[in-house]
Amino acid sequence: MRVSDIVPWRQRELSGEDDERSTQSLREEMNRLFQDFYRAFELTAGEGGAMGTFNPSVNVSEGEDGYEATIELPGMDEEDIELILGRNSLTIRGEKREDREDEGKSFYRRERSYGYFERTIPLPTEGIDRDNVTATFDRGVLTVTLPRREQEATERRQIEVQMS
Amino acid sequence: MAEIDVQKQEAQEMEGTERTRTGLVFVPSVDIYESGDDVVLLADMPGIDENAIDIMLEKNILTIRGFAGEGGREGYGLAYSEYDTGDYERTFALSDEVDRNKIEATMKNGVLKLILPRAEEARTRRIEVTAG
């Protein structure tokens, strides 16, 4: 896990017991946060959508400056997509509607799915710049950009100085 | 009509063919229905650009392909993944002759829509059958 890289543990450099304890607990807290973060992903995978209905797939990537969630929503209109940013989660929901003009047609093949869906992506409680979360919908793929909060970036820079 | 649960099905390599591109190839989910004298085909190809679609009609064999561009944000690594990205490819045998000069293709929100008008001869033949 990358957390261990960004929070280096150097016991010798610590002056007192109190410092040691607080650093230890910070580290544990961060590890727990990230473990929960990823474990929660597994739990919510595939929960949205009943059998045979639209159940879109989600990818989450992580980089230096934040996270990016993408979700495949082919055939949806952006006005039918709703995004809710909770305290520690991002919920994407909407309804993929069948074209009215398709009704009563004789189908040779019907593999595409329609209907209501809801997916929830857990987010770390701290560290996300909630005011600058953006979403774009392009070519049937919704991309949600979740930048890291400046404060965290500053902390990380300080650690880099210590290491050198 | 078979229900297909798998959202993204990887294409089986056809016998005697060699891929000239690397990466994954998926079979897009489709709806095909009749609309008047046209056959309409909808294929889910999320993430594919309208300029990266290739449609071929050889006799009554229709092949659609969508080529994926560079995916993923630079410097970002996947933390959690439910889907892979790659090209799309699927071949269809059309039961009626299609007027290949009048095929209309549009791409909207990651869905390819093909309108395949039946050729005049095919239409006439259909009318004859109905009348007889």
What is residue B5's predicted lDDT score, i.e. its pLDDT?
Answer: 42
Cβ-defined contact of B82 to A108 (cutoff 8 Å): no
Interface test with A, best of B80, B106, B111 (most A CBs within 10 A): B80
- Whether B24 shows a pLDDT value over 90: the answer reads no
Instruction: Name the residue with higher pLDDT: A20 or B101.
Output: B101
From the list B1, B31, B73, the residue facing A63 with the nearest CB is B73
Which residues, 6+ apart, have CB-to-CB distance to B17 below 8 Å? Answer: none
Average pLDDT (B46-50) is 94
Strands (DSSP E) found in A56-132: 58-63, 66-72, 81-85, 89-96, 107-110, 115-122
Q: Which among A79, A113, A82, A114 has a CA at the least distance from the CA of A97? A: A114
Average pLDDT (B9-25) is 66
Cβ-defined contact of A74 to B78 (cutoff 8 Å): no
Pairing of strands A134-138, B38-44: unpaired
Determine the distance in angstroms separating the CA of A72 from the nearest CA of chain B, rounded to an integer: 6
Lowest mean pLDDT among A14-23, B44-53, B69-78, B82-91: A14-23
Contact (CB, 8 A) for A147 and A123: no
What is residue A35's predicted lDDT score, i.e. its pLDDT?
Answer: 55
Query: How far, in Å, are A65, A129, B84, B91 from residue B62 at the CA level?
Result: 45, 48, 25, 6
Determine the distance in angstroms separating the CA of A142 from the nearest CA of chain B, rounded to an integer: 9
Provide residues of B within 8 Å CB-CB of chain A.
1, 3-5, 7-8, 29-35, 39-40, 42, 44-49, 72-73, 75-83, 107, 109-111
User: What's the rounded Cα separation, in Å, for the pair B4 and B63?
Assistant: 20
- Whether B4 shows a pLDDT value over 80: the answer reads no
Lowest mean pLDDT among A65-69, A107-111, B101-105, B128-132: B128-132
What is residue A164's predicted lDDT score, i.e. its pLDDT?
Answer: 54
Query: How far, in Å, are B39, B62, B71, B119, B130 from residue B124 at the CA level?
Result: 16, 22, 47, 9, 10
What is residue B49's predicted lDDT score, i.e. its pLDDT?
Answer: 93
Mean per-residue pLDDT of chain B: 81
Q: Print pLDDT tens along chain A (164 aa).
A: 444 344 444 333 334 445 555 556 666 666 565 555 554 444 444 444 444 578 899 999 999 899 999 999 999 999 999 999 998 899 999 998 887 665 667 888 889 988 999 999 988 878 889 899 999 999 999 999 999 987 655 555 555 565 55
Query: Cα–chain-centroid distance for residue B1?
Result: 18
Assign B20 a pLDDT band (cuts: 50, 70, 90): low
What is residue B104's predicted lDDT score, i.e. its pLDDT?
Answer: 93
Global pTM?
0.70
User: Which residues of chain A make contact with B31, given a CB cutoff of 8 A?
Assistant: 102, 107, 109-112
Contact (CB, 8 A) for A54 and B7: no
